[in-house]
């Protein structure tokens, strides 16, 4: 053991692994604290969902109402003297209330994120479960589709499709849904492959259950935990992509208050009013972080050995 | 190995073929190209003349075959906006994107390998937690927003780096940071996981026990084995960077193929879009093919799958 070098940790690491089944530190922590990431992210996410649902009541103004006399008012935390009580987070360069636009923007991110996740989840889960259950040719076909999908540059294809069909919410949801199913397929395939040989599946086969019934009643409930984890990651991914598409002008169209679009609109005045890009960007960041941490928390809860 | 290589090559060819068909159909089925070309005020006979001139009145499958045959020989047709051919445009811009993505990869590996190693060595320490927090936060930030924050900090406030253009090497630094930052979390997690596995392996214990200096154990025995999957993933990340460059190059107005793609999509310059889509997709196919072959060569277990 190289005690003279400052780096003695790897040796300790080896020793610790041999001697202790689990790090002592974790045992000392109270049980509920272990899931602090899960609880915290669930609370943040719930708050954002509630704010989005209650936007008409929470928002002080109409998010589309322009008032050229009140352009570019700063928020309170930037310049308390110039800020006005009617616009606590200021106004954008068309005089629209920023707080109201941020609240309504949460609706767009959540709607697109959720439904794109549902679409891609349906496609990917169907493919993955079939590939994992049947193997052979089905498996080859699905892995071919996944490889093809992965080689298509996602942003470019999405931009091109939106430019052709127009940037409505439905188009963005469908484009993202049809581009983000690959991870669902890969994970569901290996999860299904793992449970395929288990006794309860063999039993169901032996008593003559139909294939759809086996997949629905026996396979799906047993791969549900991985499904939920992937669903959270893909929802976060869809939210980030929507923001990027809208930022590039080929996603959600003005005057809708998409957070990505708000960053793009604030870009021109970012030298003088940097808070205008900070707020919507931070909103995306917090939402995506909450969803990702929720997914991590669920994963740690359901598959403790899955932690690296 | 040969059997695996042939099968993998056939898969890559099939994927390349499908991708080319998708690139063609995506922009051809979407509407009447002749009307777009002729412009909104064009008379009906002008539209018809353009349709014949560009061969748009022929069956779709013939048009596709024709397009693919020309594309294979490097002829992607003409841009509707630029005087140059699509091939010349792509050849012109590709080096910029290649430099950008390479720099991005260097930054990503330069951050993720030391950080991932340190996180694995001092597992559950403050450093490990900090690295994990950075990774989680990094994955949550929208890339265009991170790029704008860089612009605000280094370009506007400190005035160290130019905020847009392609003129000098300095123009590539911020875009490369933005691209690299995005590839770092996943590479770092993989380095950490690989190091954790390798450090627990018997040959590292043996190397320790026979009294080799720690540096030798870490670099020669541990890192060399932990880094193989990282290199494989880095190749895939390089491919992802080519498509991620659309956003980043647009933010920095860097004249690469990503910016060209965005401009062409906004202008409905479809021949250019098809060409870029095909080139980027083929690049990714070749990259993943080489990675898989390399992996199979290094690890015989993969070949039997």
Give residue B104's pLDDT band: very low, low, confident or very high (50, 70, 90): very high
Percent of chain B at pLDDT above 70?
Answer: 94
| Cβ–Cβ below 8 Å for A285 and B189 | no
Which residues in chain A (108-127) have CB-CB distances under 8 A to chain B? none
- For residue B249, the chain A residue with the least C-alpha distance is A248
Which residues does chain B have within 8 Å of residue A249's beta carbon, measured at their own beta carbons? 266
Fold designation for A108-258+287-302: MetI-like fold (1.10.3720)
Q: Does B206 touch chain A (CB under 8 A)?
A: no
CA distance A43 to A39: 6
Cβ proximity of B263 and B79 under 8 Å: no
| Cβ–Cβ below 8 Å for A285 and B22 | no
Which residues does chain A have within 8 Å of residue B193's beta carbon, measured at their own beta carbons? 308
Q: Give me the sign of the Cα torsion angle A136, A139, A144, A150.
A: negative
Q: Give me the sign of the Cα torsion angle B11, B14, B20, B23.
A: negative
| Cβ–Cβ below 8 Å for A147 and B11 | yes
Mean pLDDT to the nearest integer, A108-124: 94
Beta partners for residue A97, in sequence order: A91
Q: Does A9 touch chain B (CB under 8 A)?
A: yes
Cβ proximity of B255 and B96 under 8 Å: yes
Q: What is the 3-state secondary structure (H, E, C) of chain B?
A: CHHHHHHHHHHHHHHHHHHHHHHHHHHHCCCCHHHHHHCCCCCHHHHHHHHHHCCCCCCHHHHHHHHHHHHHCCCCCECCCCCCEHHHHHHHHHHHHHHHHHHHHHHHHHHHHHHHHHHHHCCCCHHHHHHHHHHHHHHHCCHHHHHHHHHHHHHHHCCCCCCCCCCCCHHHHHHHHHHHHHHHHHHHHHHHHHHHHHHCCHHHHHHHHCCCCHHHHHHHHHHHHHHHHHHHHHHHHHHHHHHHHHHHHHHHCCCCHHHHHHHHHHHCCHHHHHHHHHHHHHHHHHHHHHHHHHHHHHCHHHHCC
CA distance B29 to A161: 11
Cβ proximity of A70 and A87 under 8 Å: yes
| Cβ–Cβ below 8 Å for B140 and A155 | no
Residue B266 has pLDDT above 50, yes or no: yes
Which residues in chain A (259-288) have CB-CB distances under 8 A to chain B? 260, 263, 267, 270-271, 274, 277, 281, 284-286, 288
Mean pLDDT to the nearest integer, A93-101: 83
Q: Does A160 touch chain B (CB under 8 A)?
A: yes
| Cβ–Cβ below 8 Å for A23 and B121 | no
Nearest to B144 among A17, A247, A274 (CB): A247
- Give the ipTM: 0.86
What does the domain layout of chain A look like in residue ranges?
Answer: 108-258+287-302
Cβ proximity of A44 and A286 under 8 Å: yes
What does the domain layout of chain B look like in residue ranges?
Answer: 97-267
- pLDDT (tens digit per residue) in A9-18: 343 344 344 4
Instruction: Count A/B contacts: CB-CB distance under 8 Å.
Output: 162
Nearest to B265 among A160, A240, A281 (CB): A160
Mean pLDDT of chain A: 82
Q: Does B130 touch chain A (CB under 8 A)?
A: no
Q: Does A4 touch chain B (CB under 8 A)?
A: no
Mean pLDDT to the nearest integer, B73-78: 81
- pLDDT (tens digit per residue) in A213-230: 888 888 888 888 889 889
Residue B220 vs residue B253, higher pLDDT? B253
Percent of chain B at pLDDT above 90?
Answer: 11
Q: Check: CATH 1.10.510.10 for B97-267?
A: no
| Cβ–Cβ below 8 Å for A147 and B15 | yes
Closest to A224 (Cα-Cα) out of A136, A131, A302: A302
Closest to B146 (Cα-Cα) out of B237, B247, B238: B247
Neighbours of B8 (CB within 10 A): 17
Give residue A224's Cα distance to chain centre.
18
A91: helix, coil or strand?
strand
| Cβ–Cβ below 8 Å for B141 and A285 | yes
Which residues does chain A have within 8 Å of residue B243's beta carbon, measured at their own beta carbons? 153-156
- pLDDT (tens digit per residue) in B178-202: 998 888 888 888 888 888 888 888 8
| Cβ–Cβ below 8 Å for A9 and B141 | no
Burial B9-29 (b: 16+ CB within 10 A, else e): eebbeebbebbbebbbebbbe
Which residues does chain B have within 8 Å of residue A10's beta carbon, measured at their own beta carbons? 121, 199, 208, 214, 217-218
- pLDDT (tens digit per residue) in B243-263: 788 999 999 888 889 999 999
Query: What does the pLDDT read at residue B36?
Result: 67
Query: What does the pLDDT read at residue B40?
Result: 66
Which residues does chain B have within 8 Å of residue A248's beta carbon, measured at their own beta carbons? 144, 246-247, 250, 262
Q: Does B245 touch chain A (CB under 8 A)?
A: no
Residue B229 has pLDDT above 90, yes or no: no
Query: What does the pLDDT read at residue B107?
Result: 93
DSSP codes joined into one string, A257-270: --HHHHHHHHGGGT
Q: Range with the lowest mean pLDDT among A171-175, B119-123, B174-178? A: B119-123
Cβ proximity of B183 and B108 under 8 Å: yes
Which residues in chain B (209-228) have CB-CB distances under 8 A to chain A? 213-214, 217-218
Query: What does the pLDDT read at residue A8?
Result: 35
Closest to B117 (Cα-Cα) out of B185, B206, B204, B218: B218
- pLDDT (tens digit per residue) in A245-296: 999 988 888 888 899 998 988 888 887 888 888 899 999 999 999 999 898 8
Q: Does A194 touch chain B (CB under 8 A)?
A: no
- pLDDT (tens digit per residue) in B44-55: 777 777 777 777
pTM of the model: 0.86
| Cβ–Cβ below 8 Å for A244 and B288 | no
Q: Does A153 touch chain B (CB under 8 A)?
A: yes
Residue A303 has pLDDT above 70, yes or no: no
Q: Does B153 touch chain A (CB under 8 A)?
A: no
Nearest to A155 among B205, B239, B243 (CB): B243
């Amino acid at each position: 053991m190289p005690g003279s070098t400052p780096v003695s940790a790897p040796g300790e690491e080896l020793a610790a692994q041999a001697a202790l089944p689990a790090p002592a530190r974790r045992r000392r922590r109270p049980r509920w604290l272990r899931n602090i990431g899960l609880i915290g992210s669930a609370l943040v996410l719930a708050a954002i969902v509630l704010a989005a649902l209650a936007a008409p009541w929470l928002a002080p103004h109409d998010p589309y109402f322009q008032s050229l006399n009140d352009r570019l008012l700063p928020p309170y935390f930037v310049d308390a003297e110039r800020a006005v009580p009617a616009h606590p987070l200021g106004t954008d360069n068309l005089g629209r209330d920023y707080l109201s636009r941020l609240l309504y923007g949460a609706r767009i991110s959540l709607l697109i994120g959720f439904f794109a996740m549902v679409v891609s989840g349906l496609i990917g889960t169907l493919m993955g479960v079939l590939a994992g259950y049947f193997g052979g040719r089905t498996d080859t076909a699905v892995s071919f589709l996944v490889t093809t999908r992965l080689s298509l540059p996602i942003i470019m294809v999405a931009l091109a499709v939106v430019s052709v069909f127009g940037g409505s919410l439905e188009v963005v949801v469908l484009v993202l849904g049809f581009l983000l199913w690959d991870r669902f397929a890969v994970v569901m395939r290996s999860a299904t492959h793992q449970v395929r040989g288990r006794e309860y599946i063999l039993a169901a086969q032996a008593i003559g259950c139909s294939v759809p019934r086996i997949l629905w009643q026996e396979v799906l409930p047993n791969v549900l935990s991985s499904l939920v984890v992937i669903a959270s990651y893909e929802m976060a991914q869809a939210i980030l992509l929507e923001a990027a598409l809208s930022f590039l002008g080929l996603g959600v169209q003005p005057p809708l208050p998409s957070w990505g679009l708000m960053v793009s609109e604030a870009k021109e005045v970012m030298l003088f009013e940097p808070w205008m890009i900070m707020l919507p960007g931070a909103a995306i960041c917090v939402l995506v972080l909450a969803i990702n941490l929720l997914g991590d928390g669920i994963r740690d809860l359901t598959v403790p050995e899955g932690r690296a | 190995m040969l059997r695996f290589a042939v099968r993998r090559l056939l898969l890559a060819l099939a994927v390349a073929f499908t991708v080319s068909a998708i690139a063609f159909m995506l922009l051809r089925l979407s509407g009447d190209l002749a009307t777009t070309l002729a412009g909104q005020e064009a008379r009906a006979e002008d539209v018809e003349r353009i349709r014949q001139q560009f061969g748009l009145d022929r069956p779709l499958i013939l048009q596709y075959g024709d397009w693919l045959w020309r594309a294979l020989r490097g002829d992607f047709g003409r841009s509707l906006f630029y005087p140059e051919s699509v091939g010349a445009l792509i050849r012109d811009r590709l080096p910029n994107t290649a430099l950008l993505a390479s720099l991005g990869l260097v930054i990503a590996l330069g951050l993720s390998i030391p950080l991932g190693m340190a996180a694995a060595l001092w597992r559950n320490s403050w450093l490990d937690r900090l690295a994990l927090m950075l990774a989680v936060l990094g994955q949550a930030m929208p890339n265009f927003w991170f790029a704008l924050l860089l612009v605000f900090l280094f370009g506007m406030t400190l005035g160290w780096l130019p905020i847009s253009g392609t003129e000098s090497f300095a123009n590539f630094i911020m875009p490369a940071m933005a691209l690299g930052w995005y590839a770092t979390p996943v590479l770092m997690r993989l380095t950490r996981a690989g190091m954790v596995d390798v450090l627990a392996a018997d040959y590292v214990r043996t190397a320790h026990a026979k009294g080799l200096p720690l540096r030798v154990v870490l670099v020669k025995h541990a890192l060399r084995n932990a880094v193989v999957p990282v290199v494989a993933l880095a190749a895939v990340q390089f491919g992802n960077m080519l498509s991620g460059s659309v956003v980043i190059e647009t933010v920095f107005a860097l004249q690469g193929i990503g910016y060209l793609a965005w401009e062409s999509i906004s202008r409905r310059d479809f021949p250019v879009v098809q060409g870029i889509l095909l080139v980027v997709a083929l690049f990714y196919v070749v990259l993943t093919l080489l990675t898989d072959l390399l992996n199979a060569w290094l690890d015989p277990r993969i070949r039997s799958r």
